Amino acid sequence: EAEVAQSPRYKITEKSQAVAFWCDPISGHATLYWYRQILGQGPELLVQFQDESVVDDSQLPKDRFSAERLKGVDSTLKIQPAELGDSAMYLCASSPGQGYTEAFFGQGTRLTVV
Amino acid sequence: GENVEQHPSTLSVQEGDSAVIKCTYSDSASNYFPWYKQELGKRPQLIIDIRSNVGEKKDQRIAVTLNKTAKHFSLHITETQPEDSAVYFCASSTAGGFKTIFGAGTRLFVKA
């Protein structure tokens, strides 16, 4: 069964350092999402791609976060500089991008900023 | 901004009882409402969804109802089992997955 792949699974970084997460969506899925999930809360959309284009990044803190999906396949989310409040689970998800379809989530990257 | 409110935040039921989780959305353009189950340490996974042209959908012990006029939708789990214990999230979006907003989640405990 195809799955969304994310790496690393866990990341500990010091504040003010740069950190990057990688996501490989299910093959053929045009839509890719990055979510941030703080413990005890629901996923919060950071950025949504349709192929290589950003269609929603209204909740992305653009002064420190950036995301790219250069070839419309895999994607990277970067934080620079990391802050203590960035500690959370970062979930990547993908969907076919058409019709009424669910989002398939990856295992996530748990980030701890110390 | 647009949001989805979910209640209750925690729900404890006895095995075999029913559980109901309710959500309210604000975006009138929303027409797709998925429900996800997230077990401890695992990824959210879809358990059921409903489109805006349908009022109710059932899949074995799970059912979802939608009231478009009131912008309410609910998840119903009957004959609960301990393995139903998890966090459940409702979400609203448009076709194609645009403007997907999640509720804050409901932690369901099913006591054996």
Q: Which position has the token pair 């959370």?
A: A88
Q: Which amino acid is at B22?
A: K
CA distance A8 to A76: 11
The answer to whether the beta carbons of residues A72 and A51 sit under 8 Å apart is: yes
Which among B86, B81, B7, B98 is positioned nearest to B39, based on CA atoms?
B86
Q: What pLDDT, on the 0 to 100 scale, is given for residue B99?
A: 75
Q: Say if the Cβ atoms of B34 and A103 lie within 8 Å.
A: yes
Largest CA-CA distance found in chain B, in angstroms, rounded: 41
Q: What pLDDT, on the 0 to 100 scale, is given for residue A96?
A: 86
pLDDT digit string, tens, across residues B70-95 = 999 999 999 999 999 999 999 998 87
Q: List chain A residues with CB under 8 Å of B41.
A: none
Q: Say if the Cβ atoms of B96 and A107 lie within 8 Å.
A: no
Q: Say if the Cβ atoms of A41 and B44 lie within 8 Å.
A: no
The answer to whether the beta carbons of residues A109 and A87 sit under 8 Å apart is: no
CA distance A3 to A45: 20
Give whole-number Cα distances, B43 to A35, A44, A67, B76, in Å.
Answer: 12, 14, 21, 21
Q: Report yes or no: B62 at the A interface, CB cutoff 8 Å.
A: no
CA distance B59 to B51: 15
Q: List chain A residues with CB under 8 Å of B51.
A: 100
The answer to whether the beta carbons of residues B68 and A2 sit under 8 Å apart is: no
Instruction: Give DSSP secondary structure letters for A34-69.
Output: EEEE-TTS--EEEEEEETTEEEE-TTS-TTTEEEE-
Q: Which amino acid is at A49?
A: F
Instruction: Please name the member of A31, A42, A43 whose beta carbon is closest to the beta carbon of B97.
Output: A31
Q: What pLDDT, on the 0 to 100 scale, is given for residue A81?
A: 97
CA distance A66 to A47: 9
The answer to whether the beta carbons of residues A91 and A37 sit under 8 Å apart is: yes
Average pLDDT over residues B26-55: 92
Q: Report yes or no: B29 at the A interface, CB cutoff 8 Å.
A: no
Give whole-number Cα distances, B5 to A2, A42, A48, in Å.
Answer: 32, 11, 22
Quick one: pLDDT band at residue A54, thresholds 50, 70, 90?
Answer: very high
pLDDT digit string, tens, across residues B47-65 = 999 998 889 999 999 999 9
